[in-house]
Amino acid sequence: IACVGGEPRLLALHLKRLLEGCRRLALRPPQTAQLTAEIASLARGNERAVLKLLVTRGPAQARGYAASGEERGTRILLRYPWPNEDERVSQEGVRVRLGELRLGENPALAGLKTLNRLEQVLARFEWSTPAIAESLLFSSGGDLIGGTAANVFLVLGGQLHTPRLDRCGVAGVMREAVTLAARRAHIALAKRPLTSLDLDAAEEIFLTSALIGVRPVRELAGRTLPVGPVTRRLQHELGPLLRNEAQLPLGEGA
Amino acid sequence: IACVGGEPRLLALHLKRLLEGCRRLALRPPQTAQLTAEIASLARGNERAVLKLLVTRGPAQARGYAASGEERGTRILLRYPWPNEDERVSQEGVRVRLGELRLGENPALAGLKTLNRLEQVLARFEWSTPAIAESLLFSSGGDLIGGTAANVFLVLGGQLHTPRLDRCGVAGVMREAVTLAARRAHIALAKRPLTSLDLDAAEEIFLTSALIGVRPVRELAGRTLPVGPVTRRLQHELGPLLRNEAQLPLGEGA
């Protein structure tokens, strides 16, 4: 959870995703009022910071994978400094590579943000040069999924496309915010299966995450890409939200 | 790690798997001599107990999936009481169901015992009656893989078969011990892709794990199965090893 101006950003979307994750994993969700107060308390006074919230099923009463249903959940809320980085990259874009590791497909876990992230860890080990910001990863079936820690959007024929995440991948809150912003800006957005052919054909590519917002890709595996009009338009549209000067209209995050 | 008679059982196979897991996940492995001493110390004086060893990359120096390579690994060694259970089930066999959740396929993680076990947790939630001991799970591609916490062996035409675990699944140490025992007993063993058709055709089925040893399946999804001669022969062959009265011949676990 990015905190800007002492307040959590996109909190409604974070909480929505958390509740959805709890539902699908049969975790008892934390009480929203208490959690919101705790997040507000850790965010307060921090012009820019990162919060990380972990929710677990809690201590088990016995060994093994079964749960009794009587577990009392644990929540852990951590605050980190905002990452140091050159402010220009958010405007000028980043260099991205193609990952080699293929992501396993499981509809039962697709889209969820969980602590089972070994694939991302291994994918992140494929490169170490700081000049490369991210790897784009494909599923075992060959579909484009996203970065190790970001979602990806392509502009094809002036329209916006992002991978459907019903077999693997993490559905980030900024992906959701871009969906809402595209609707407001009357930019058509398709969530659908995408492949490396779509990457080759893309006029613009950008990455999204709760921290980086909308970040243009200026180079993909050696190919130079422009920071184009659709990317700029969405950055502009999301600006007030990212600066925490605007909230999502009530109901849109629900 | 099962402890029997105050000593860890199949320790050489556990350590071999740990080192292989560390290698594939680029974790610095713990020092074997120190680890062996710690395990011996926790096992000592316990007629029957279960040890659980967790090895992690250690505290990170920064957020994110990257590692600096300078992390100092953490190891956690836990001791639990031996699970309470009716001794007869190991002889008479258990009832098993077919799982609905399909396991994602990823060769990069296949065979490894890691803490990324959400699939097994969800698979274990599919049933709660204690009369059912285990679910047999299939991969997203339709291959039989194993139980939520056990490997599976089938007898087909008098020969032993167990799923190849090169796309998903956990390669348990007892699966390895059965491989060695089958070789000693001159029972042919094929590690190969298996499907539900092979399950239907199986003359005998048994489960294996570090704790349960070789456990016959007496009922699979309503179908009754005999505890047959191959299962009994392997139980007999493995008996001294499971009672910790014999060690694996040096080199066989390597």
Residue of A49, A42, A52, A67 lying closest to A18 (CA atoms): A52
> Does residue B189 contact residue B179 with C-beta atoms inside 8 Å?
yes
SS3 state at A197: helix
Asked if B149 and A64 come within 8 Å (Cβ–Cβ), the reply is yes
Asked if B148 and A65 come within 8 Å (Cβ–Cβ), the reply is yes
Taking contacts as CB-CB distances below 8 angstroms, the residues of chain A near B210 are none
- The Cβ of residue B55 has, within 10 Å, a number of other Cβ atoms equal to 20
User: Residue A251's pLDDT is what?
Assistant: 41
* Bridge partners of residue B213, in order along the sequence: B209
The residue-averaged pLDDT of A112-139 equals 97
* Concatenated DSSP letters of B76-102: EEEEEEPPP--TTHHHH-EEEEEEEEE
Asked if A25 and B83 come within 8 Å (Cβ–Cβ), the reply is no
> Does residue B134 contact residue B207 with C-beta atoms inside 8 Å?
yes
The model's confidence at residue A172, banded by pLDDT at 50, 70 and 90, is very high
Minimal CA separation from A114 to chain B, in Å: 9
Asked if B106 and A103 come within 8 Å (Cβ–Cβ), the reply is yes
What ipTM describes this predicted complex?
0.94
* Bridge partners of residue A79, in order along the sequence: A51
For the stretch B118-163, pLDDT in tens is: 999 999 999 999 999 999 999 999 999 999 999 999 999 999 999 9
Taking contacts as CB-CB distances below 8 angstroms, the residues of chain B near A125 are 26, 66-67
Interface of A with B (CB under 8 A): 25-26, 50, 52, 63-67, 80, 83, 101-106, 108-109, 114, 116-125, 128, 140, 148-149, 168
Find the residue in A nearest to B56 (Cα).
Answer: A118
For the stretch A60-102, pLDDT in tens is: 888 999 998 899 999 999 999 999 887 788 889 999 999 999 9
Pairwise CA distance, residues A157 & A176, whole Å: 22
Pairwise CA distance, residues A163 & A169, whole Å: 9
Q: Is the pLDDT of residue B250 over 50?
A: no
Q: Is the pLDDT of residue B252 over 80?
A: no
SS3 state at B13: helix
Q: Is the pLDDT of residue B254 over 50?
A: no
For the stretch B20-75, pLDDT in tens is: 999 999 999 999 999 999 999 999 999 999 999 999 999 988 899 999 888 999 99
Our CA dihedral for A33, A34, A35, A40, rounded to 10 degrees, sits at: 90
> Does residue A104 contact residue B108 with C-beta atoms inside 8 Å?
no
User: Residue B69's pLDDT is what?
Assistant: 87
Taking contacts as CB-CB distances below 8 angstroms, the residues of chain B near A109 are 104, 118-119, 122
User: Residue A254's pLDDT is what?
Assistant: 37
Residue of A203, A190, A192 lying closest to A158 (CA atoms): A203
Q: Which residue has the tokens 């031996």?
A: B82
Taking contacts as CB-CB distances below 8 angstroms, the residues of chain A near B118 are 25, 109, 114, 116
User: Residue A253's pLDDT is what?
Assistant: 44
Minimal CA separation from B27 to chain A, in Å: 11
Residue of B74, B31, B79, B29 lying closest to B52 (CA atoms): B79
Find the residue in B nearest to A130 (Cα).
Answer: B66
**pTM (predicted TM-score):** 0.95
User: How long, in residues, is chain B?
Assistant: 254
A106 vs B25, B67, B102: nearest CB: B102
Give the Cα-Cα-Cα angle B224, B171, A144 (nearest 5 degrees): 105
For chain A, the distance separating the N- and C-terminal CA atoms, rounded to the nearest angstrom, is 17
For the stretch A24-41, pLDDT in tens is: 999 999 999 999 999 999
Pairwise CA distance, residues A180 & B186, whole Å: 65
Taking contacts as CB-CB distances below 8 angstroms, the residues of chain A near B67 are 121, 124-125
> Does residue B206 contact residue B174 with C-beta atoms inside 8 Å?
no
Q: Is the pLDDT of residue B251 over 70?
A: no
Asked if B148 and A117 come within 8 Å (Cβ–Cβ), the reply is no
Q: Is A185 exposed, middle or buried (0-12, 13-18, 19+ CB in 10 A)?
A: middle
Taking contacts as CB-CB distances below 8 angstroms, the residues of chain B near A126 are none
Q: Is the pLDDT of residue B176 over 90?
A: yes
Instruction: Measure Cα distances from B90 to B66, B154, B195, B203, B214 in Å.
Output: 45, 17, 25, 18, 7
Question: Within 13 A of A91's CA, how many CA atoms are on the CB side?
Answer: 3
Q: Tell me the percentage of chain A whose pLDDT exceeds 90.
A: 91
Q: Which residue has the tokens 């080759």?
A: A200
For the stretch A201-235, pLDDT in tens is: 999 999 999 999 999 999 999 999 999 999 999 99
Asked if A118 and B66 come within 8 Å (Cβ–Cβ), the reply is no
Alpha helices in chain B (DSSP H): 11-24, 32-43, 89-92, 118-124, 173-184, 196-201, 229-242
Q: Which helix (H) or strand (E) holds B193?
A: none
Interface of B with A (CB under 8 A): 25-26, 50, 52, 63-67, 80, 83, 101-109, 114, 116-125, 128, 140, 148-149, 168
